[in-house]
Amino acid sequence: MAGAAAITATGIPMRTIADGEKPHSGRLKGNIHHSVSQWCYGDIPLDQFVPACAAMGIESVELLQEKDWPVVQKYGLKCAVGYATDYGIPRGFNREENHAKLIADYETMIPRAAAAGVPNLICFSGNREGQNDNEGLIVCAKGLRKLMPLAEKHGVTIIMELLNSYGHKDYQCDKTEWGAALCEMVGSDRFKLLYDIYHMQIMEGNIIDTIRKYNRYIGHYHTGGVPGRNEIDDTQELNYPAIMKAIVATGFKGYVGQEFVPTGNDKLASLKKCIAICDV
């Protein structure tokens, strides 16, 4: 049985969770599998941030490189979404000249993700750069289909993030309908969408109806306040308890990742507050 470790200078307990133990799972309702994007808390060392998340009942710290996966495992958490390539958002699957490297990178990382218990690897469409959306669908599907046999073998899902193309100027996968069409073309349950609520409120609105319509294509969710991408409270225009209830009603069993940028000095208190807002 794991024992309590020393208290850090920030007051966060450093604790190793025993194999099979669920950290603080009784504190939340269990209808939502809570995750959080590490980059929003990048000034907190990961080996302090992860146990703090565990203490809140959060099950995953996500958007981590492979070298950081053992840190979340140490504290009994998962990394719900990992990275597989050093190509960024603008350079995605919509260009055939990117396919050789992308396919090689994902083929390397899919087995490693499976071995580490990382259920999803993120990917991106890339920017349009004059390409029409139909061509983008065809080229993305051509590359992604090559990865599906390996993803299916190892039980790892490749998820393409929906982003707004104002903040991420010219990004192609900026509408849920386009992403759903790509899912149909790829034709595997191991390719799904990362539905970022913040980004899709900016691009489309109509969040709850869209989730109900396209939920079979969605493998992961991200949060964020609109406007500003800050706390998901009553300072902004989205009703997150209603959105979370709609997600639960679809039967979704994946993770909801907090990806707002916290304001103020106590970022962990802000995260705890927003987890409570989403814990329906």
Terminal Cα-to-Cα distance of the chain (whole angstroms)? 31
- The pLDDT of 47-56, averaged and rounded, is 97
pLDDT digits (tens, 9 = 90+) for 187-213: 999 999 999 999 999 999 999 999 999
Alpha-carbon dihedral 32, 210, 263, 165, rounded to 10 degrees: 140
Residues comprising the chain, all counted: 280
- pLDDT one-digit tens code per residue, 232-256: 999 999 999 999 999 999 999 999 9
Confidence of residue 19 (pLDDT cuts 50, 70, 90): very low
Judge whether residue 144 has pLDDT over 80: yes
Q: According to the model, what pLDDT value does residue 27 have?
A: 79
Q: Which of 75, 70, 77, 58 is nearest to 16 (CA)?
A: 75
- Residue 189's pLDDT is 98
Distance from C-alpha of 275 to C-alpha of 277, rounded to nearest angstrom = 5
Q: What is the pLDDT of residue 65?
A: 98
Query: pLDDT confidence of 266, banded at 50, 70, 90?
Result: very high
**pLDDT confidence of residue 8:** 35
Judge whether residue 148 has pLDDT over 60.
yes
Rg (CA), the chain: 18
State the DSSP string of 21-49: --TTGGGS-SSSEEEEEGGGGTTS-HHHH
Note the pLDDT of residue 234. Answer: 93
Indicate the Cα dihedral angle 73, 161, 170, 226, nearest 10°.
Answer: -90
Structural domains present in the chain: 4-278 (3.20.20.150)
Exposure of 115 in the CB half-sphere (CA atoms within 13 A)? 7
Question: Which secondary structure element, helix H or strand E, spans residue 196, and what is its range?
Answer: strand 191-196
pLDDT for residue 128 is more than 80: yes
**Average pLDDT value for the chain:** 92
